[in-house]
Amino acid sequence: MKSSLINTAILLTSILVAIFGIELFLRLANIGGKAAPKSLYYRQVEGSELHRHHRTYGWTAVPNVRAQISSPEYDISVANNSLGTRGPEFALDDSTKGCRVLVAGDSFIAAYTVEFDEVFTQVAERIVEDRLDRECEFIADGVEGYSTDQELLRYRDIGKSYDADLVVLALFFNDVHQNASPWAEGGFQPKPVFEITDTGLTATNIPVPEPTEETADIPKDRSLSSRIRKRLSGAFSGPSRIRTMIRSTLASAELEDHGIPLRSGLFSHDVPAHWGVYSVDRSKELAHALDMTERLILQFREEVQAQGSDFSILHIPNRSLIYDEDWRWAQAFHGLDENWDIGRFEDFAQSLCVAYDIPCILPAAEIAARAQASDDISKRLYLINDPHLSAAGHVAMGEILAEYLLDGPLSR
Pairing verdict, β 200-204 and 193-197: antiparallel
For the ranges 6-15, 66-75, 201-210, the lowest mean pLDDT is seen at 6-15
Q: Helix (H, G, I), strand (E, B), or coil: what is residue 116?
A: helix
The count of structural domains within the chain is: 1
In a domain, 119, yes or no: yes
Pairing verdict, β 74-79 and 100-105: unpaired
In a domain, 68, yes or no: no
How many H helices and E strands in the chain?
13, 12
Among residues of the chain, what percentage have pLDDT more than 70? 76
In a domain, 146, yes or no: no
Give me the pLDDT at residue 310, please. Answer: 96
For the ranges 22-36, 146-160, 395-409, the lowest mean pLDDT is seen at 22-36
In a domain, 71, yes or no: no
Find out whether 367 and 322 touch, Cβ atoms under 8 Å.
Answer: yes
Helix or strand run (H / E) with residue 99: none
Domain extent, residue 358, equals 31-43+109-134+165-407
Alpha carbons 201 and 194: distance in angstroms, whole number:
6
Other C-beta atoms lying within 10 Å of the C-beta of residue 221: 9
Helix or strand run (H / E) with residue 193: strand 193-197
Other C-beta atoms lying within 10 Å of the C-beta of residue 9: 10
Task: Report the b/e string of 87-120 with b at 16+ CB within 10 A.
Answer: beebeeebeebebbbbbbbbbbbbbbbbebebbb
Mean pLDDT of 221-249: 53
Give me the pLDDT at residue 40, please. Answer: 42
Alpha carbons 118 and 186: distance in angstroms, whole number:
29
Q: Where are the beta strands (DSSP E) in 363-405?
A: none
Give me the pLDDT at residue 54, please. Answer: 97
In a domain, 275, yes or no: yes
In a domain, 155, yes or no: no
Find out whether 203 and 153 touch, Cβ atoms under 8 Å.
Answer: yes
Bridge partners of 402, per DSSP, are none
Alpha carbons 176 and 291: distance in angstroms, whole number:
9
In a domain, 279, yes or no: yes
Chain segment 106-142, per-residue pLDDT in tens: 999 999 999 999 999 999 999 999 999 999 999 999 9
Residues 177, 183, 187, 189: what is their CA dihedral angle, to the nearest 10 degrees?
140
Per-residue pLDDT at 66 exceeds 70: yes
Find out whether 150 and 184 touch, Cβ atoms under 8 Å.
Answer: no
Per-residue pLDDT at 75 exceeds 50: yes
Residue type, 130: D
Alpha carbons 380 and 229: distance in angstroms, whole number:
44
Give me the pLDDT at residue 34, please. Answer: 42
* Whole-number CA gyration radius for the chain: 24
